[in-house]
């Protein structure tokens, strides 16, 4: 079944001029980009987006970091997209990510881990809606 996920290239990866590298990996990996935009989140927006992590000790730093510079937001589509994409980008901590994955190659540490990816169909729906209206997504 075709599935959609939400991903974003994080501020340190944009600042490091790896947008093209990451998008090339995504396209070559068989993911179709249905929507794409670059934007700079406010701290409040980052706080809302990562609300599920509100109780975690890294929440403050995370929202600071995610609002520190522009990000590239994307909606991807593929069969079994959510689980496959999480495998494709590698573990949250780039030091533990499998060789050849986006996070292993472009991530710095557990916070500056290059890309975000939705972790479930429910969260994918919420996260896509957070950034894109239906008419901003190609069919």
Active-site residue set: 116
Report, in Å, the least distance between residue 71 CB and ligand CMP: 10
Report, in Å, the least distance between residue 113 CB and ligand CMP: 5
**CA 107 to each of CA 12, 79, 122, 139: distance values in angstroms, whole numbers, following the listed order:** 9, 26, 26, 31
Binding track over 83-102 against ligand CMP, x by CB under 6 A: ---------x----------
Burial class of 103 by CB neighbour count within 10 A (0 to 12, 13 to 18, 19+): buried
Instruction: Give backbone dihedrals phi and psi of 113, rounded to 5 degrees, phi first.
Output: -105, 30
With CB under 6 A, what is the number of residues at the site for ligand CMP? 8
Segment 47 to 86, residues that bind ligand CMP, using CB under 6 A: 53, 58, 62
Q: Which of 58, 60, 15 is nearest to 40 (CA)?
A: 15
Residues at the contact surface with ligand CMP, assessed by CB under 6 A: 53, 58, 62, 92, 110-111, 113, 116
């Amino acid at each position: 079944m075709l599935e959609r996920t939400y991903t974003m290239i994080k501020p340190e990866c944009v600042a490091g001029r790896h947008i093209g590298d990451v998008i090339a990996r995504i396209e070559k990996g068989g993911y179709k980009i249905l929507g794409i935009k670059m934007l700079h989140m406010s701290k409040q927006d980052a706080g809302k987006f990562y609300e599920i992590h509100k109780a975690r000790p890294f929440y403050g730093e995370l929202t600071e970091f995610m609002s520190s510079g522009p990000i590239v937001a994307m909606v991807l589509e593929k069969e079994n997209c959510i689980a496959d994409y999480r495998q494709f980008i590698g573990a949250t901590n780039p030091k533990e990510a499998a060789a050849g994955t986006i996070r292993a190659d472009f991530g710095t540490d557990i916070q500056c881990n290059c890309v975000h990816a939705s972790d479930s169909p429910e969260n994918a729906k919420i996260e896509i809606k957070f950034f894109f209206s239906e008419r901003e997504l190609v069919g």
